[in-house]
Amino acid sequence: MPDITAATLKTSSEQVVNPSLPHDDYGPQVNVCIWALSSMAVAWLILRIYCKFVRQRRLWWDDYILIASWLMLLGGNISITFAISYGFGRHSYDIPLQNYSPMLFVSAFAGTFMIIAAAWSKTAFAVTLLRISSGWQTGFLWFIIVSVNAVLGVSAVITWARCWPIQKIWVNVSGTCWPYRINVHYNIFTAAWSGLMDIILAFLPWHILWGLTIDRKEKLSALAAMSMGVFAGITSFVKIYAIQDSGNADIIDTIQLVVLATAEVAVTIIAASVPILRALARDKFPRAGPFLALDETEHWRTQQITETNASGHVNPPPMPDLANVENIELLPTAKKRWFQDKMKVQHLSQIEEFDESPAERSPRRHGWTPV
């Protein structure tokens, strides 16, 4: 939200208004944009939760953090809507003097909500990746989680600590405020760091999952779904240009920042929900090949093996003894690799809703080989 104090707006409003000056009002457009973005985000979030319940999966920490992130986004949108009712979206000289204090007060809350929403949405996706990471990857993900929350947390504190007394942020009283350049420069750093972490989180799954023993097409599809966060990173980088205008005396220059801040959180929530929702697309457009669930939590890509008898008919071989892994032919990798990837694919199945045999399909009618 804008880095503007009540004193700045009052000075701007006391200038003689030239009749030839523009009298734009972008408040209604801003309202439509932020609520449209939030609606899309919650739609994807609801589908994510629905998909988990349909497939009898319990909600995990990443789900709860993502829900909390959207609630913060909702709080930010409500605050912005109140700010618009007081004149946000207009030029400073068009805002009634009595509206400055309440507008700046709710704007400070909007900024705080948006910052927390951004931090938690990125945290949710990082927590998701913790389930399929190991070794240095786990440590690096924890570094991302801590650093994102620390950097954005300081930004939220600055929103309220930049003036003393605090009331000077929204009321023109005696006191002192930091030079606006300090806040602008730190917020630029925050946006750059946030965008960089989004890009890293988008491409980290490629390093984690590329060597897994799963079908190549399925692997690429999963990686593409888990890399949607790159768009949130792009949004964060674009936001840097809008932040540079946040200290201008004319508050209308900050409307782009408000829309981009909302878009960043919404895109992150959507990107975090895409991997889970691949299951809905698979249910609607199922693959031709059948699948086998080894147990209630482990879901592996399978391949049907057939053989032709003397009469020319194609008969499936007998079902292998799953209790004795030595009798299972592993294609195309060795059994050792199969066990190495086992835990990662188990957790990936919970994140990606990985290939899973429908309840009505009996695997005992066919011969299968996990690959």
Question: Which pLDDT score, from 0 to 100, does residue 353 have?
Answer: 46
**What's the average model confidence in pLDDT over 37-59?**
90
**251-276: average pLDDT:** 92
Residues 274 and 353 in one domain: no
Q: Alpha carbon of 303 to those of 2, 157, 219, 299, 326: distances in Å?
A: 57, 55, 15, 13, 18
Residues 253 and 361 in one domain: no
Report whether 366 contacts 316 (CB < 8 A). yes
* DSSP class of 328: S
Residues 278 and 305 in one domain: no
Q: Is the same domain home to 98 and 162?
A: yes
CA quadruple 338, 340, 346, 348: dihedral positive or negative? negative
Same domain (yes/no): 197, 306: no
**Does any domain span residue 200?**
yes
pLDDT in tens, 52-61: 888 778 899 9
**Domain co-membership, 93 together with 190:** yes
- Is residue 322 a part of any domain in this protein? yes
- Position 365 scores a pLDDT of 34
Distance in angstroms (rounded) separating the CA atoms of residues 246 and 330: 59
Q: Which of 222, 253, 284 is the last residue of a domain?
A: 284
**Domain match, 260 and 142 both:** yes
For the chain, how many structural domains are there in total? 2
Instruction: Assess whether 74 and 35 both reside in one domain.
Output: yes
- Across the range 17-25, mean pLDDT stands at 79
Last residue of a domain, one of 284, 308, 337: 284
Are the C-beta atoms of 115 and 155 separated by less than 8 Å? yes
pLDDT digits (tens, 9 = 90+) for 205-225: 888 777 666 667 767 777 787
Residue 142, judged by CB atoms within 10 A of its CB (0-12, 13-18, 19+), counts as middle
120 and 252, same structural domain?
A: yes
Same domain, 196 and 104: yes
Residue 25: give its domain's CATH number.
1.20.1070
At 344 the pLDDT is: 52
Residue 140: pLDDT over 50: yes
Which is more confidently placed, 48 or 341?
48
What CA–CA distance (Å, rounded) separates 226 from 85? 39
Instruction: Give percent of the chain above pLDDT 90.
Output: 49
Comparing CA positions, the residue from 123, 89, 83 lying closest to residue 104 is 83
- Which of 250, 284, 318 is where one domain is finished? 284
pLDDT band at 360 (very low <50, low <70, confident <90, very high): very low
User: In this predicted structure, what is the pLDDT of residue 296?
Assistant: 34
State whether 165 and 233 are in the same domain. yes
Encode pLDDT of 161-185 as tens digits. Answer: 999 999 999 998 999 999 888 999 9
What's the average model confidence in pLDDT over 3-25?
63
| Structural domain that includes position 35 | 6-284
**Closest Cα to residue 122, out of 74, 190, 186?**
190
Of 105, 30, 41, the C-alpha closest to 72 is 41
Sign of the torsion formed by the C-alpha atoms of 119, 125, 128 and 130: negative
pLDDT, mean over the chain: 77
1 within some domain = no
**150 and 299 in a common domain:** no
